[in-house]
Amino acid sequence: MAIGSGKEEQLEKRLDEQGGGNSGSQSAGVPADGKVEGNAYNPQGNPGVRHWQASFISRDGLQDRGNIFFAAVEMTRMPMVVTDPRQPDNPIAFANGAFFDLTGYESGEVIGRNCRFLQGPETDQRTLDEVRQALAEQRAVAVDVLNYKKDGAPFWNALFIGPIFDEDGQLLYYFASQMDITERRANQEAYLQAQKMEAIGQLTAGIAHDFNNLLQVINGNLEVAMVSLERPDTARPALERAQRAAMRAGKLTQQLLTFARKQRLEPRPVNINNLVVEFSDMLVRTLGGKLELRLDLRPGLPVCMIDPTHFEMALLNVLINARDAMPDGGEVTVATSIVRGEDRLKVHGLPHGTYISLCVIDHGPGMPPEVLRHATEPFFTTKGPGTGLGLAMVHGFVQQSHGRLELSSQPGQGTKVTMIFPIADSASGADEASSANGAQADENKPCVLVVEDNDDVRELAEQVLEMEGYAVQSAGSGEQALALLREGDPVDLLFTDVIMPGGMTGIELAEQARTLRPGLPVLVTTGYMDELPDCGRSGGLEILAKPYRQESLLEKVRVALARQPINVVPGLGGPLGGNDG
C-alpha cells in the first residue's frame, strides 16, 4: 500500500496545468513523482512520475460528455470509476464500460452504490482500513485488493484512487482505476516457489554438514550417558548436550520444510529482533567464511504482525544478494530501529503511526540508477544463472505485510535494503490468557488419549504425560482410537499425529471423534504444517509442531483442555463436535 500527498502538501507542489482556451475551463494536477506506487502493482512497469495523484478542476460537470476526453474514457480497456463523496456513503457516480466488463455488473446495479459490493469473504480487512484512512485524509492510495465479480469469482484488483478538488480546494470526487492482476499474482507465486527451491539447493550442502555434526553430538553423548548411568554427574551433562543438539536439528528441519512450502502462513505478532537472532545461524552459513555478519539491533522493539517464515525468506534473499555483491569478503550489517515522529514518517512517505525498520547494508560495488529502478522487478537480474534470488520476493512479502520496501545504492558505495513494517495493535492478550488457562487446567489432571503410529514417539508422549500426573490411554492408529472412544472410557483430550501411514489421518480421526463426543478438545502434532488443511491452522484444532520439547507438549495440553469447545470446523468435511440444534 502507498498513499499520496495530503491536501496542504499538494497545494505547495508545482501543478501541471492543462486546458483553458475558448472554453475557459481547465484542470491542474499534482504529479505522482513516483511516490504513490509503493508495493502495489504498477501497470506502467516502473514508478509513475507524470501521472496525476490528485487534480483540481474549474468546472464540475459529470454530464459534459461531448468531448474527446469522455470518448477516450469509454474507449479505454482500463476499468474506471468516479465516486461522489459529497453524497451519503460516497456512491459511484460514473463507471465506464470496461468496469462493467471486468465485474459483470450492469450500470443500474452499480450507479448509486458504494464500491463495497465488490468485497467478499477473503478481502483483507487491513487493506480496506488503509483505503478508508487515505480517503478520510483526501489522499491518493494504491493497493492490491481481492475483489469479487457478480458471479462470485474472486480477482486480484490493482486499485488506484485519487481525489478531485475544485479551484477552492473543496473535494468533489474520487477517481479510481482498476486492473485485473490475478494471472500475474499466480505467476508470481510460481516464481517465488522456484526461488525457494533455489534457496534450498544453496543451503543443502551446509545443512548436511551441520546435521552430521549434530548427529555426532547426539550419538556420542548418548554413548557417554549409557556407560555413565552409575555416575549421574557425568551422565546428566551428556544427556543435556544431546538434547540441545536434537532441538537444533529439529529447527534446521523446520526451516527446510517451511522454505519449500507453497501455502502462505498467517501473520502473527513477532519481535523482529528475536527472529533475526534465532535465524542468525542460517544467515552466517549463507554468507560463508569470507563475510562477517554484524547485528545492530535496537533493544525494546514493539512487535509486528508479520509472517515469520516469509520474513526469514526475505531476509535470506537480501543476504544472498549482499554475499554475491562481495565475492572477496567484507561486512554485512543487519540493523533494526523504530520509525516514528512526523519528520521521519514524512521522509519515508508513511502515514501516521509507529513502524519497525530493518536494514541490510553491504559494502559491495552498488547499483547505478538504471539498475536500481528495475531491482525489484521479477526475473530482472544482473548476475549469471543460478546465483542470487532477486528482490521480487522481498517486494511481494513487504506488500502483503502492509509495509514499505526502500532501496538506496550508488556505484562504489554499497547497497542498503530497508524493510519497514507497522507495529501490531495488540499481541500480549492471547499469551496471558493461555497462561491463565494453563494454570487452571494444571489443578485437575484429566485423561489424554495419545494416538501415534510410531511406537517410540507414542511411548515418549505417554511417559511425559504420566510424569505430569495425567491419566493416559494410547492407540497406534485412528481406528484403534475410535474403538476406545466407542467403548465409553473417559477421555478429556485427544492428542493425535496427523499422518499415520496405511490408515485414517489425524484430521479424519478428529472429525469422527467429535461426532462421537461433541466438544472433545483435540491437539494435533505434525512435523510439516502443509499436512494440515487451512481450517486446522486457523480454528478448531490446537497444533504442536514436531519435534517438541516436554514443556511445549504440557503447555499445549493445558491450553487445549482449557479452550472453549468449537462445534464446527469448516472444511473438514462435516461437524466437529456435534450440532447445536
Which residue shows C-alpha cell 514518517?
Answer: 345
* Residue 568 pLDDT greater than 50, yes or no: no
| 63 within 8 A of 84, measured Cβ to Cβ | no
> Which of the residue ranges 125-134, 222-231, 443-452, 537-546 has the most confident prediction, judged by mean pLDDT?
125-134
- The residue with cell 490475478 is 182
Q: Would you state the pLDDT for residue 147?
A: 95
Query: What pLDDT is attached to residue 68?
Result: 80
Numbered ranges of CATH 3.40.50.2300 in the chain: 429-562
Rounded CA-CA distance 507/505 in Å is 5
- Topology annotation, domain 2-180: Beta-Lactamase (3.30.450)
Helix, strand, coil tally for the chain in percent (to 5): 40, 20, 35
The pLDDT of residue 443: 45
Contact 285, 316 (CB under 8 A): no
pLDDT over 60 at 579, yes or no: no
Spatial contact of 75 and 44, defined as CB atoms under 8 Å apart: no
Higher-scoring residue by pLDDT: 425, 122: 122
Q: What is the predicted pLDDT for the residue at 92?
A: 96
Provide the pLDDT for residue 230. 83
107 compared with 390, residue with greater pLDDT: 107
Higher pLDDT, 201 or 153: 153
Looking at residue 313, its pLDDT comes to 81
How far is it, in rounded angstroms, from Cα 217 to Cα 244? 9
| Higher pLDDT pick, 64 / 555 | 555
Residue 41 is predicted with a pLDDT of 54
Give the residue-averaged pLDDT of 344-371. Answer: 86
Asked whether the predicted pLDDT for residue 367 surpasses 80, the reply is: yes
What is the per-residue pLDDT for 536?
46
Q: pTM, whole model, 2 decimals?
A: 0.43
Helices (H), 365-519: 369-372, 392-400, 429-442, 455-467, 478-486, 506-516
Does 558 have pLDDT greater than 50?
Answer: yes
User: What's the CATH number of domain 429-562, 3.40.50.11540, 3.60.10.10, 3.30.56.10, 3.40.50.2300?
Assistant: 3.40.50.2300
Residue intervals in the chain for CATH 3.30.565.10: 186-422
Structure confidence at residue 542 as a pLDDT band (50, 70, 90): confident
pLDDT in tens, 244-295: 888 878 766 765 665 555 445 567 889 999 999 888 887 887 787 788 899 9
pLDDT over 70 at 237, yes or no? yes
Other C-beta atoms closer than 10 Å to the C-beta of 16 total 14
Q: Give the mean pLDDT of 216-242.
A: 85
| Angle at which helices 550-562 and 455-467 cross, to 10° | 70
Secondary structure letter of residue 21 according to DSSP: G
DSSP class of residue 533 equals -
Q: What is the pLDDT of residue 219?
A: 83
For the chain, what percent of residues have pLDDT higher than 90?
Answer: 28
Q: What value does the mean pLDDT of the chain take?
A: 78
pLDDT band at 83; cut points 50, 70, 90: very high
Taking CA atoms, 67 is separated from 57, 61, 73, 92, 107, in Å, by 16, 12, 10, 21, 21
Single-letter code of the amino acid located at 96: N
pLDDT given for residue 531 in this prediction: 54
- What's the pLDDT at 5? 55
Q: What is the average per-residue pLDDT within 97-119?
A: 95
What does the pLDDT read at residue 382? Answer: 62
**Cα dihedral: 468, 473, 478, 484 (round 10):** -150
**pLDDT given at position 377:** 60
- Quick one: pLDDT at residue 312? 85
Query: For 16-63, what is each residue's pLDDT tens digit?
Result: 566 555 555 566 667 666 555 444 555 555 555 566 777 777 677 777
Q: Is 259:282 a contact under the CB 8 Å cutoff?
A: no
pLDDT higher at 45 or 84: 84
Gyration radius of the chain's alpha carbons = 29
Q: What kind and span of H or E run contains 56?
A: strand 52-57
Distance of alpha carbon 387 from alpha carbon 331, whole angstroms: 20
What CA–CA distances, in Å, run from 385 to 379, 381, 389? 11, 9, 10
Over range 338-345, report the average pLDDT. Answer: 84
Looking at residue 9, what is its pLDDT?
57
Three-state DSSP state, 267: coil
CATH architecture assignment, domain 186-422: 2-Layer Sandwich (3.30)
Which residue would you say has higher pLDDT here, 426 or 497?
497
